[in-house]
Amino acid sequence: MSSKYKQLDNKFCGLEFQTPLVLLSGCVGFGQEYTRVVGYSNQEIGAICLKGTTLENRLGNPAHRVYETPAGMLNAIGLQNPGANAVVNDYLPKLDFNETRYVANVSGSTIEEYSQVTRIFDDSPIDAIEINISCPNVKEGGVAFGNDPDMSARVVEACRAVTDKPLITKLSPNQTDIAYNTKRCIEAGTNGFAVINTLMGMAIDIKSRKPVIGNNQGGLSGPAIKPIALLKVHQVYQVCKHHNIPIIGQGGVCSGEDALEFIIAGASAVGIGTGLYYDPLICAGINQTICDYLDENKLSHISELVGSLTLN
């Protein structure tokens, strides 16, 4: 890989990223779907997170699965995927690992499933593994793993035991103390964090008086959640900076200015998700804006900007 943005290349969990931009899980399928967009270039991004993958194939939730809201989007896809073995055997061989980094997204309804899926991806060319701990634990009445620090740590620990690949834990904003959860996950062996996952929300059809989303509720993403995401990145960074643990900041990034806010708050990389639906070629403009900002502020590299927030 050769980056055309020398100010932006960096290492994330030991992996070479051409730029700080990461295409988020669920927004670009299993890597090939998005790359077919005319004008797209892998040189604009540091990594692609593949769609959430479980042990067995899943059909997902009933329609409607996606609904646009003011300044955002609700989605409840339900982890539709062909299963981990199919992803490794049928999808990964079609990807060019010389162009960018690819990150698997591991999901499960039990700790054992997380471990099994991680083990399958460990025996593959995937560069890193993102742990989606927002999934419900079926053995504990459906509470999400990510909302309980003990369960979060147990999932990370189980995945760490079966792989030496970098682990990136995707933190939920739907919890009481995200900083404490961060500490527990670091102790359990995570190498990085993705902050934040979607917030839970609902939309109602007033004619039928029923939820618009077939699953009744869904994850809210987009500009509406950016202020919350920025605060969570700042809170997580206060823990991570003492352990040299990097963060992918995400939640409503639709411009270069948005990305800069996340970097200043403490993110070493920036996730692009819902913004891709507004503009599939948004990444080039974001990178250029960051480069211009560095030049204007006489900074030679993006690393000088990470966590540079000064509180009032």
Q: Which domains does the chain have, with CATH numbers?
A: 10-60+77-201+220-304 (3.20.20.70)
Q: How confident is the model at residue 1 (pLDDT cuts 50, 70, 90)?
A: low
Q: Which residue has the tokens 């990807």?
A: 95
| Average confidence score pLDDT of the chain | 95
Is the pLDDT at 37 greater than 90, yes or no?
A: no
User: Using one digit for the tens of pLDDT, what is the confidence trace for 54-93?
Assistant: 999 999 999 999 999 999 999 999 999 999 999 999 999 9
Alpha-carbon dihedral 219, 74, 252, 110, rounded to 10 degrees:
20
Lowest mean pLDDT among 10-19, 137-146, 207-216, 275-284: 137-146
**Catalytic annotation, pick one of 135, 159, 185, 283:** 135
Active site residue 49: no
Is the pLDDT at 280 greater than 90, yes or no?
A: yes
Once rounded to an integer, what is the mean pLDDT over residues 197-206?
96
Q: Decide the pairing of beta strands 101-106 and 192-195.
A: unpaired
Distance separating alpha carbons of residues 79 and 134, to the nearest angstrom: 12
